[in-house]
């Protein structure tokens, strides 16, 4: 009987931030969890306390790393940081409310909302990424962790856009299609990587959160 070399991945979105609550785009800007986000992180961690993880990995942005540390506090796992798991960089969109983006950058906003995966975003504090660049970055990171850890269980804490990319990769969805699925704060999402390919096991578990949670904003 040969060993199962598939890798189990529990992919978790960070808890809520004040900018999530007011629909202000974060991207690479480093925004801490708010009090509700910290509560969500603790609730997520408690719900996973009985599971075994070989590795705990997070984006280097504070909202993800802080959420991951809540899980590490109950599992005893050290935290590995990987900047490739950051949210998409939105360039000049970052720090703006969605309504302000549409008013200030109407053409770029239309391309973004129209799912132009190669559209370049206006520069800001950071250089923006196209959706294709972002997708390649984060799928490469997650599949890389899986390839380096065959047969193991990984908890990865990242961002709404990262979760969207991994969901699309697992289901073979075109990057051009509208997002018709929710990506909730502090949600637990389960995948298997088998023979280098992502498979979805379950999506959007927020049973551990008893109050409303925000979709990816």
Q: Is 52 a catalytic residue?
A: no
| Total-model pTM | 0.94
CA within 13 Å, CB half, 80: 14
Active-site residue, from 16, 36, 66, 87: 87
Distance CA 58, CA 64 (A): 6
Determine whether 35 is an active site residue: no
| CATH H-level, domain 7-205: superfamily | Phosphoglycerate mutase-like (3.40.50.1240)
- Helix/strand/coil for 83: helix
The two tokens of residue 3 are: 């060993």
Catalytic pick among 14, 66, 108, 164: 14
Q: What is the model's pLDDT at position 4?
A: 82
Q: How many residues does the chain have?
A: 217
Which residues, other chains included, contact 13 with Cβ-Cβ below 8 Å and sequence gap of 6+? 157, 158, 159, 160, 163, 183, 184, 185, 186, 187, 189, 216
Q: Which residues of the chain have pLDDT under 50?
A: 1
Q: What is the pLDDT of residue 90?
A: 97
pLDDT of residue 213: 62
Rounded to whole angstroms, the maximal C-alpha distance in the chain is: 61
Q: Is 172 left (phi over 0), alpha (psi -120 to 50) or beta?
A: left
pLDDT at 216: 66
């Amino acid at each position: 009987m040969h060993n199962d070399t598939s890798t189990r991945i529990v992919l978790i979105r960070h808890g809520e931030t004040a900018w999530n609550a007011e629909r202000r785009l974060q991207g690479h800007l480093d925004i801490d969890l708010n009090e509700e986000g910290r509560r969500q992180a603790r609730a997520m961690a408690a719900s996973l306390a009985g599971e075994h993880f070989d590795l705990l990995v997070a984006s280097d942005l504070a909202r993800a790393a802080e959420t991951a540390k809540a899980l590490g506090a109950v599992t005893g796992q050290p935290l590995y940081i990987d900047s490739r798991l950051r949210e998409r960089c939105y360039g000049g969109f970052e720090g703006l409310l969605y309504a302000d983006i549409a008013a200030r950058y109407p053409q770029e906003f239309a391309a973004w909302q129209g799912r132009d995966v190669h559209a370049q975003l206006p520069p800001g504090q950071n250089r923006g990424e196209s959706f294709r660049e972002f997708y390649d970055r984060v799928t490469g990171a997650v599949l890389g962790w899986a390839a380096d850890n065959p047969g193991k269980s990984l908890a990865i804490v990242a961002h709404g856009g990262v979760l969207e990319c991994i969901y699309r990769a697992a289901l073979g969805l075109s990057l051009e299609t509208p997002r018709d699925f929710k990506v909730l704060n502090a949600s637990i999402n389960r995948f298997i990587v088998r023979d280098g390919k992502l498979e979805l096991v379950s999506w959007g578990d927020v049973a551990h959160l008893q109050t409303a949670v925000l979709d990816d904003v």
